[in-house]
């Protein structure tokens, strides 16, 4: 049986019975529906915040569903930033790895993660919509929400690491009976590194919740230390952006080149990118605290250097994905400098969405380097520049990639045809244009010093004009982008739910489009073999993280402050 020796079996093993496959499909679909339902609520609220910046205060008309701007902003952040990506990637990574290896994942563990996260989500929704916990998605103490909020967040975080043991179990079973030197297939490898990165970094926010916020909100402790909480939060809060991004990279590296009609130009570079993201993202979280008191200047300088290093894997990705797309475009007959780009299968919404997402990442990455540059950051910190930046990254790159994946995955899972290819394309273009317009406005307004997280539309008109009149043009862009995003959201969900409920049945299912790498028929590269030592790499990352945070937290632990809770909404 020579197939078992191949690094990447092309077909699903017949041994994987149809019944188990179908139960995997149902579970994956449940993850997707839960995640995208959260995004639906969050995305519908988002444009209200955009209109707020243009001076339009719609909140008085939304009583009693959304009490204030801050209630809406909390729901928007928590659902779009935590619930949506956690559910989608937990479904996606396990489903793809199982298919790639031709093995059934441990369903109990996988579904257990779903159940824990779903319980947490319900608790969070209750706590947010009753306006008891308008603490925003960063929930910085001493703002004090209800215990339901913190306990719900704890469960959501706990459930989100469930894919890690599932993927490890898959890899172990795949390795059994294979030569010791065999290389883990690419998609599984990327999924595993993603989950390890998350499991290590989640230690920060989970400690904050379990040791500080849960006991405090339950009344077991009277006070809380805000700076320790904030430091623990950002220990996780920066790596979490890679937890959003890496599953999108899984699709770009692992699938997109085949969808576009070509091959991945470099398999080892994909592995290297993921490992670099894991190692570099863990120690840099406190660059979100450049402006905080209590950090030594030397330490901040080290953080700048580390933060710049985190750009390296993303720039490698830009190269490898760009080149893979060029390869596909040239195979499809594209010529000249830009001919390969126009020759890509733009009629396929799944490809078009991911390519547009990749294009928007250029600006997203550039604004990210501005934020990482300390003094430039002093100009833009806490202004709308910041949300402008992360709507280009998580709001465009990640959201559009996840949406694009559903355009092929939902038909594969349900055996139904995509409701409308044109509507799906419209959703992707509207999202791309809407988010670009919105983010341009936010970044530009931020340069005028317009603060983020401010209910500016509730100010009297004269005060609004006096404070933010200079930034009127960019704030109109913000609102216009928001309205376009509403249209994009409607188009996308018409396709998403339309396909699940009313897509034409009896469609022959296309196989999962796993990409083949150039040179994959040769022996594995030395780099890929070195990176196969996942355990050592994880240990290295852990050491880097501890080395980065021990000095910071140690200095704070010696000077504890006791702040009581505040409810300010």
Partner 1 sequence: MSASHDESAFERAFHHAAERHERVWIFIVLVMLVLLGIGTMFYVVFDYGVITHDTVFHRDPTAVEREPAFRDGRLARTGPNDYAAYVVGRVWSWSPGVIHVPQGARVTFHVTSTDVLHGFQVQGTTVNVTAVPSIVGAVSYVFDRAGTY
- Among residues 309 and 507, whose Cβ is nearest to partner 1? 309
Site size toward partner 1, by CB under 8 A: 65
Query: Given the rule CB under 8 A, which of 122-130, 261-269, 399-407, 537-545 is the region that contacts partner 1?
Result: 261-269
Q: How far apart are CA 209 and CA 207, in angstroms?
A: 5
Q: Write the Ramachandran bin of 225: left for phi over 0, alpha for psi from -120 to 50, otherwise beta.
A: beta
Question: Contact letters (x/-) for partner 1, 402-441, by CB under 8 A?
Answer: ----------------------------------------
Enumerate residues 6+ apart whose C-beta is below 8 A from 523.
none
User: Is 452 tagged catalytic?
Assistant: yes
Taking the complex as a whole, the smallest distance from the CB of residue 259 to partner 1 amounts, in Å, to 18
Q: How far apart are CA 27 and CA 33, in angstroms?
A: 10
- Among residues 399 and 544, whose Cβ is nearest to partner 1? 544
Query: Given the rule CB under 8 A, which of 108-116, 353-361, 369-377, 395-403 is the region that contacts partner 1?
Result: 369-377
264: DSSP letter = B
- Among residues 199 and 470, whose Cβ is nearest to partner 1? 470
Site for partner 1 in 271-310 (CB under 8 A): 289-295, 297, 300-301, 304-305, 308-309
Q: Is 521 in the site for partner 1 (CB under 8 A)?
A: yes
Does the bond joining 142 to the residue before it have cis omega, within 30 degrees of 0? yes
Distance of CA 365 to the CA centre of its chain: 14
The one among 99, 263, 271, 391 contacting partner 1 by CB under 8 A: 263
Instruction: State the CB neighbour count (10 A cutoff) for residue 461.
Output: 9
Cβ atoms of 442 and 454 within 8 Å: the answer is no
User: Is 472 tagged catalytic?
Assistant: no
- Determine which one of 249, 253, 452, 492 is catalytic: 452
User: Is 258 tagged catalytic?
Assistant: no
Q: Write the Ramachandran bin of 449: left for phi over 0, alpha for psi from -120 to 50, otherwise beta.
A: left
- Among residues 173 and 330, whose Cβ is nearest to partner 1? 330
Cβ atoms of 49 and 72 within 8 Å: the answer is yes
Query: Given the rule CB under 8 A, which of 40-48, 56-64, 115-123, 560-568 is the region that contacts partner 1?
Result: 560-568
Question: Contact letters (x/-) for partner 1, 319-338, by CB under 8 A?
Answer: xx--x---x--xx-------
Helix (H, G, I), strand (E, B) or coil at 224: strand
The one among 67, 519, 534, 540 contacting partner 1 by CB under 8 A: 519
Q: Is 312 in the site for partner 1 (CB under 8 A)?
A: yes
Crossing angle (nearest 10°) for helices 18-53 and 84-101: 150
Cβ atoms of 166 and 94 within 8 Å: the answer is yes
Active site residues: 238, 242, 389-391, 452-453
């Amino acid at each position: 049986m020579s197939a078992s020796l191949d690094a990447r079996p092309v077909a699903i093993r017949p041994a994987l019975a149809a019944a188990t496959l179908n139960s995997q499909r149902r579970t994956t679909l449940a993850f997707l529906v839960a995640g995208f339902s959260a995004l639906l609520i969050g995305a519908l609220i988002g444009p209200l915040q955009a209109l707020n910046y243009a001076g339009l205060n719609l909140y008085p008309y939304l009583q009693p569903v959304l009490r204030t701007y801050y209630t809406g902003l909390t729901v928007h952040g928590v659902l779009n930033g935590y619930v949506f990506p956690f559910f989608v990637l937990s479904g996606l990574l396990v489903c793809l790895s199982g298919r790639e290896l031709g093995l059934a994942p441990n369903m109990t563990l996988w579904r257990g993660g779903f159940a824990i996260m779903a319980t947490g989500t319900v608790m969070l929704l209750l706590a947010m919509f009753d306006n008891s916990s308008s603490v925003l998605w960063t929930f910085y103490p001493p703002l004090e929400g209800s215990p339901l909020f913190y306990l719900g967040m704890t469960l959501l975080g706990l459930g989100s690491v469930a894919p890690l043991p599932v993927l490890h179990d898959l890899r172990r079973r795949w390795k059994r009976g294979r030569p010791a030197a065999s290389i883990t297939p690419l998609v599984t490898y990327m999924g595993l590194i993603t989950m390890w990165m998350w499991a290590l970094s989640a230690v920060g926010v989970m400690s904050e919740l379990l040791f500080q916020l849960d006991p405090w909100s339950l009344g077991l402790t009277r006070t809380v230390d805000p700076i320790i909480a904030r430091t623990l939060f950002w220990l996780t809060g920066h790596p979490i952006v890679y937890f959003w991004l890496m599953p999108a990279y899984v699709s770009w590296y692992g699938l997109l080149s085949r969808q576009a009609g070509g091959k991945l130009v470099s398999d080892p570079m994909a592995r290297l990118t993921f490992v670099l993201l894991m190692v570099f993202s863990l120690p840099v979280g406190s660059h979100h605290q450049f402006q905080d008191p209590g950090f030594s200047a030397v330490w901040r300088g080290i953080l700048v250097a580390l933060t710049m290093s985190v750009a390296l894997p993303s720039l490698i990705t830009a190269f490898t994905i760009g080149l893979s797309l060029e390869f596909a475009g040239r195979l499809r007959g594209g010529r000249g400098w830009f001919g390969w780009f126009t020759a890509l299968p733009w009629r396929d919404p799944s490809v078009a969405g991911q390519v547009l997402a990749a294009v928007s990442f250029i600006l997203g990455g550039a604004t990210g380097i501005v934020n990482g540059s300390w003094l430039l950051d002093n100009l833009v910190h806490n202004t709308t520049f910041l949300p402008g930046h992360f709507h280009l990254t998580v709001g465009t790159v990640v959201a559009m990639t996840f949406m694009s994946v559903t355009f092929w995955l939902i038909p594969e899972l349900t055996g139904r045809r995509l409701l409308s290819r044109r509507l799906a394309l419209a959703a992707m273009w509207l999202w791309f244009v809407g988010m670009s317009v919105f983010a341009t406005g936010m970044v530009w307004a931020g340069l005028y010093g317009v603060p983020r997280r401010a209910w500016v539309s509730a100010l009297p008109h004269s005060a609004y004009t006096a404070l933010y009149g200079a930034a009127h043009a960019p704030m109109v862009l913000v609102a216009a982008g928001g309205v376009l995003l509403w249209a994009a959201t409607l188009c996308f969900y018409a396709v998403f739910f339309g396909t699940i409920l009313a897509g034409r049945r009896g469609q022959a299912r296309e196989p999962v489009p796993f990409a083949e790498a150039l040179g994959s028929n040769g022996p594995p590269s030395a780099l890929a073999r070195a990176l196969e030592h996942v355990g050592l790499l994880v240990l290295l990352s852990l050491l880097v993280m501890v080395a980065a945070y021990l000095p910071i937290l140690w200095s704070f632990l010696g000077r504890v402050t006791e702040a009581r809770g505040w409810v300010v909404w």
